[in-house]
Structure 1
Amino acid sequence: FGSRSKWGRYLTLAGTVLVAVVLVAATLVPATALAAPTKTRYLVGFRGQPDVGLVRAFGGEIIHSYRIVPALAVRLPDAAAAALAANPRVAYVDEDGIMHAIGDTLPWGVDRIDADVVQAGGNSGSGVKVGILDTGIDLDHPDLHVAGGATFVDGTSAPDDDNGHGTHVAGTVAALANGTGVIGVAPAAALYAVKVLDSGGSGYISDIVAGIDWAVTNGMKVINMSFGGSSDDATLRAACDNAYAAGVLLVAAAGNSGNPAGKGDNVSYPARYSSVIAVAATDQSDKRASFSSTGPDVELAAPGVDILSTYYGGGYATASGTSMACPHVVGVAALVYYANAGYSNADVRNAMTSTAIDLGTAGRDTLYGYGLVYAPDAVGGGSSPPPSSGSLAVTVTTDKSSYVMGETVTITVTVVDENGAAVGDASVHLDIVTASGKTRTADGTTGTDGTAVFSYKTKVPDGKGTYTVTATASKSGYTSASATTSFTVQ
């Protein structure tokens, strides 16, 4: 028993000593040794075969290697990034950027007439039949659903677009709310492609009349005619008048024959006919586009400058013209039909003209007609904002003029109107051109005090030297404005 007791004491003492050593050791380890250096994700490009060993020699960790590019995705201490970039075997060291899923882009025209407000209330024009009489529609475009159609152009067998114009028009009316691309005024409307114009954008009146005839026979509620000519035609006039009498709402582009002074009577046919709504074009400041035709037949105005929409070939494009203004009105008509099932075409027409935002001379005039079409009031729920034609002024400042690499720059953008009053809810786009020539961007919105604040952390890959910051502010009803400042990074 004595030896057993001895070993028992030994083990106990040994355990005590071991614990003591561990505790002492723990108290002697510097706290900084427990914290690993901060590492940032970078993409490292090589002039030849990627060198994993080189990256690791600089304290880097490999995330990905690739077959298709001579590069490595790594985690690297910030302090080592510049040193690695200086190695002759390295082509570049770029901070690993972040991309985001792209949702529907709200084109400014759809936003200006507040169609998105109506959509948010549950009205997207679902099922309302809209005939697009044009060059056809891209039948395979991922942002469009074409419910049917027909072609009346010689040498074609389907109403597929071979020009792009018709697809652009169709997108403004009803580009889908599908989380990609753009969104139209009435994204759930039933689009019908009625091809009456050829690949050059021209068409015979006889083909157009055939298209109108098809629209009546196939129950279209509203048709879009973004085309025109300078001469009256008895058959076309009769077709439009009879289609209107049959209950179809006809909407046409007023034409692009206007002049900067807004003088003269130059509205195109068929927009000149009393059975057709003639649509003029406005810009982001609610001013008539200089090309927009004028005259007593102008009935409504709608956005028609720099309009982003779908395009043939599955793409997107920006275009200007009364052709682009016309589908905004057609889309609103679809929303009105959906909200008011018992409305006739005359009722829908009156709903849009009587609630339009009056622009220009009070009352109906030769530039804007009754004014800018406004979706919430036309469908019967909302109030028109007063027309605005103000201008914005922008200032952009940084909290310091010079920074040490790794510091954060605070950028303040202030937006006021022409009277110096703060402008809230203005969109602000920021471009930061770094010393290395890269452009970093950010977007924000001003608060009620007219300011938007951004933060930018300086990084080694962006380089030392002068940085330029440009802020651009915009808001519907105002002329956009920009301002620039600069700072240095040492």
Structure 2
Amino acid sequence: MKNSFSGPVRSAVVLTLAALVAGVSGTAMAQTRASQERVIVEFKPGKLKAARAAIQAAGGRVVLDLSEDNAVAAVLPAGKRLALRRNAAVASIDDDPIRTVMGSRKATVRRAGASAAVMSTEVVPFGIPMVQADQVAYGSTRKVCVIDSGYDLSHEDLQKTGVTGQNFTTEGDWSTDENQHGTHVTGTIAALGGNGVGVVGVVPGGNLNLYVAKVFDSTGSAASSTIMKGVRACKRAGANVVNMSLGGGRPTNFEAKTYQRFYDSGMLIIAAAGNAGTSALSYPASYPSVVSVAAIDVNKAKADFSQFNAEVEIAGPGVATLSTVPTGSNREATLSVGGASFAAAPMDGSPVGSASAALYNFGTGEVDDAGVAGKVCLIARGNISFADKVLRCQANGGVAAVIYNNTAGQLFGTMNGVVTTIPSMGVSDVDGAALLGQVGAVASAAVAVSAYNYAEFNGTSMATPHVAGVAALVWSNFPACGPARIREALNATAQDLGAAGRDVEFGFGLVQAKAAADWLATNGCAAP
């Protein structure tokens, strides 16, 4: 990882010190930051130097070079945009909005022994046959660019060769992933098949060329200009398909023009429709040059979070999608007591560990109890935080903590960053009542929180790589086709869902690899 005093961290330290020296209050600092805006300044051909000088004269500073597209990203004092726009070197000034990842980890609930297959055998996620990826063989070389949070090159189920990239953040490298999102997305596209472990991707042979543009750090957000810098790198790398499991509101003219140029130059850009569950438009997905992807579940129903609007073009599986995450970054819990297994979810922040000991009723975990020593604490939710309950169990000599819900349903809890040394997990109110009946039994409680290299995620982010992978798979068999023809084939052969024809929830329907390949075999690459 790079020096912790580089990039934005260092800037924050310098700003804070400067403010202290000047006697500026925290409120004044906030007002200073609020009085600035990040913009994209498009300059006229050959006028980069003059545009930079104009930005400086306006009290601003350039923060990112986009000169290949005749632009720079800059921070300007509020109120300076209009005056700068009048400069003869400046063609336009646009906002530089924030874009975020469009997927999140689904809290997993397992019964004892239920997750062993994830690590010891190879699993085919439900989305792979659903999009007919298992019915089409990969043909000639295609390159897919994944613009996301990186790629865990050390992962057991991801290819090591044919992968290059570039890091546009201050964390790690393109081959690391501090957020999990990028590794999960790429696994859906290209997780290795036939190696006996993990999962299978849409293109599982290990021979897909991949380019990784790391634009997101652990926060999962980045400016539009940084993302477009990544797309430009994809273009230089020769990418045919670009996966963008990301988005946000506020379209910009510069963004629309830039993505159109990339599309016209031969790249098929595929992006997430958004996770707000509303009819709001998300960008870049909603630009005409970009394919907008909605999410469906295992039953081919629209995911409740998937945005719906006239720009939605096609759909892919995006609910409880099992794929790769950085090695050891996921947690799963198992619990068995008296020979019976119980559904359990690891506390967010629980350490990896296991224990086998008698189950002990520790009430709500608020009062010290010498009887806890050497036992598994069974604790009721309520009154104090989960972390405080686990810490008191730990301080009293407990070897693990199981917290049961005091309302209906499974308990998903978090340590909120508090460091503990014993494994902890949550169970439902119903299982909690059953476990209270096991307290004092001779049979012991077997508790384990384990590290896993795979996780289930929800999001249009997860649907998008299914479509991008299918596009690459189909295109690999018809390399003479252009991106518009591949797009036409995918739309013409999608499995119609919902209202007949194209609709706002599913677009043309569920992407189908075999049907699209057959359509191109019949109709060819040339448009009629």
Shorter-chain TM range is 0.5 to 0.7
1:141–1:272 Cα change, 3 Å:
same
2:152 corresponds to 1:134: no
2:518 corresponds to 1:369: no
C-alpha contact 2:143 2:211 (8 A) present in aligned 1: yes
Q: Which digits, 9 at most, give the CA deviation of each residue in 1:277-309, with x for residues without a partner?
A: 000000111110011001000000011100000
C-alpha contact 2:171 2:178 (8 A) present in aligned 1: no
1:382–1:340 Cα change, 3 Å:
closer
Q: Which digits, 9 at most, give the CA deviation of each residue in 1:300-341, with x for residues without a partner?
A: 001110000000125100011100000000010011111112
For 2:489, give the aligned amino acid. Answer: A
For 1:250, give the aligned amino acid. Answer: I
2:251 corresponds to 1:232: yes
2 CA distance for matches of 1:100 and 1:245?
A: 42
C-alpha contact 2:493 2:519 (8 A) present in aligned 1: no
Q: Which digits, 9 at most, give the CA deviation of each residue in 1:44-73, with x for residues without a partner?
A: xxxxxxxxxxxxxxxxxxxxxxxxxxxxxx
For 1:247, give the aligned amino acid. Answer: G
1 CA distance for matches of 2:260 and 2:475?
A: 20
Report the equivalent of 1:320.
458
Which residue, 178, 181, 190 being the options, matches 2:198? 181
Report the equivalent of 2:287.
273
SS at match of 2:222: coil
Shift of 1:192: 1.6
Over alpha carbons, which structure has the higher Rg? 1
Q: Which digits, 9 at most, give the CA deviation of each residue in 1:14-53, with x for residues without a partner?
A: xxxxxxxxxxxxxxxxxxxxxxxxxxxxxxxxxxxxxxxx
1:99–1:190 Cα change, 3 Å:
closer
For 1:266, give the aligned amino acid. Answer: A
C-alpha contact 1:353 1:370 (8 A) present in aligned 2: yes
For 1:243, give the aligned amino acid. Answer: F
2 CA distance for matches of 1:203 and 1:345?
A: 27
Shift of 1:157: 4.3
* Runs of 5+ consecutive residues of structure 1 not aligned to the other structure: 1-97, 260-264, 384-490
Q: TM-score, normalised by structure 1?
A: 0.54
Shift of 1:371: 0.4
Per chain length, whose mean CA-contact separation is higher, i.e. which structure has more relative contact order (CA < 8 Å, sep 6+)?
2
2:518 corresponds to 1:380: yes
1:253–1:110 Cα change, 3 Å:
same
For 2:245, give the aligned amino acid. Answer: S
C-alpha contact 1:126 1:190 (8 A) present in aligned 2: no
C-alpha contact 1:301 1:325 (8 A) present in aligned 2: yes
2 CA distance for matches of 1:197 and 1:101?
A: 28
Matched pairs, number: 277
Identity, % of aligned pairs? 44
C-alpha contact 2:128 2:201 (8 A) present in aligned 1: yes
Which residue, 243, 246, 269 being the options, matches 1:250? 269
Q: Which digits, 9 at most, give the CA deviation of each residue in 1:129-176, with x for residues without a partner?
A: 100000011111111125101111135444421110000000000101
1 CA distance for matches of 2:138 and 2:125?
A: 16
C-alpha contact 2:489 2:520 (8 A) present in aligned 1: no
2 CA distance for matches of 1:198 and 1:139?
A: 16
Which residue, 221, 225, 235 being the options, matches 1:202? 221
1 CA distance for matches of 2:290 and 2:520?
A: 26
Which residue, 460, 474, 481 being the options, matches 1:336? 474
Which residue, 105, 108, 122 being the options, matches 2:123? 105
Shift of 1:125: 5.5
1:355–1:220 Cα change, 3 Å:
same
SS at match of 1:203: strand
1:382–1:269 Cα change, 3 Å:
closer
C-alpha contact 2:235 2:262 (8 A) present in aligned 1: yes
2:186 corresponds to 1:167: no
2 CA distance for matches of 1:101 and 1:160?
A: 21
Report the equivalent of 1:150.
166
C-alpha contact 2:497 2:510 (8 A) present in aligned 1: yes
Which stretches of structure 1, 4 residues or more, deviate above 6 A after TM superposition? Answer: 98-101
SS at match of 2:465: helix
* Runs of 5+ consecutive residues of structure 2 not aligned to the other structure: 1-115, 329-452, 522-528
Report the equivalent of 1:310.
324
2 CA distance for matches of 1:251 and 1:320?
A: 18
Shift of 1:378: 1.2
Q: 5 Å matches for 1:411-422? A: none
Report the equivalent of 1:117.
135
- Farther-moved stretch of structure 1 (247-256 vs 138-147): 138-147
Q: Which digits, 9 at most, give the CA deviation of each residue in 1:204-261, with x for residues without a partner?
A: 11110110101111100101000111111233222211110110000000000115xx
For 1:344, give the aligned amino acid. Answer: G
1 CA distance for matches of 2:500 and 2:177?
A: 41
Which residue, 221, 231, 245 being the options, matches 1:212? 231
2 CA distance for matches of 1:306 and 1:99?
A: 17
SS at match of 1:130: strand
Shift of 1:194: 0.9
2:297 corresponds to 1:283: yes
1 CA distance for matches of 2:313 and 2:461?
A: 15
RMSD: 2.2
1 CA distance for matches of 2:117 and 2:222?
A: 44
C-alpha contact 1:250 1:275 (8 A) present in aligned 2: yes
2 CA distance for matches of 1:246 and 1:238?
A: 12
For 1:186, give the aligned amino acid. Answer: V
C-alpha contact 1:125 1:186 (8 A) present in aligned 2: no
1:99–1:200 Cα change, 3 Å:
closer
1 CA distance for matches of 2:256 and 2:156?
A: 36
2 CA distance for matches of 1:155 and 1:330?
A: 26
2 CA distance for matches of 1:163 and 1:125?
A: 32
